[in-house]
Amino acid sequence: MNELNDLPLWAELATAALVLLASLFALTGAVGLLRMKDYFQRMHPPALASTLGAWCVALASILYFSALKHSPVLHAWLIPILLAITVPVTTLLLARAALFRKRMAGDDVPAEVSSRSSDSPH
């Protein structure tokens, strides 16, 4: 091995496997996006698959650079952690906006849930 790429074979193979797995998650999300007919159904496959793919890429990056530097490199975990926080919030906001647009268009959608229930004793 040369000095620039002094990486053990097991680390190269594990990194390649994780990146390949991430690409399979991305492909799964794309196929799920194409197969689903409704916007609300289309929201879940790409979000879940891309999040899993990002975790795989981050793990591959941590493994590769930790093996290359012979010490733990953990700053790549920031990306999937931030994704885990922001993706559900973004998905919720997009779903609410789409539901609002359907209500304004007069489509048949579930009724809006109020904060006060008619069954409450107040």
Name which residue leads in pLDDT, 24 or 85. 24
Q: How many domains does the chain have?
A: 1
Is the residue at 117 inside a domain? no
Is the residue at 121 inside a domain? no
Is the residue at 118 inside a domain? no
For residue range 52-85, list pLDDT tens digits in order. Answer: 898 999 999 999 999 998 888 888 888 888 888 8
Q: What are the Cα distances from residue 74, in Å, to 36, 39, 59, 62? A: 37, 36, 9, 6
In whole angstroms, what is the distance from residue 24 CA to residue 30 CA? 10
Q: What is the pLDDT of residue 23?
A: 95
Give the mean pLDDT of the chain.
84
Confidence of residue 113 (pLDDT cuts 50, 70, 90): confident
Q: What is the pLDDT of residue 39?
A: 84
Confidence of residue 13 (pLDDT cuts 50, 70, 90): very high
Is the residue at 82 inside a domain? yes
For residue range 36-61, list pLDDT tens digits in order. Answer: 888 888 887 788 888 889 899 999 99
Is the residue at 3 inside a domain? no
Q: Which domain holds residue 63?
A: 9-104
Confidence of residue 117 (pLDDT cuts 50, 70, 90): low
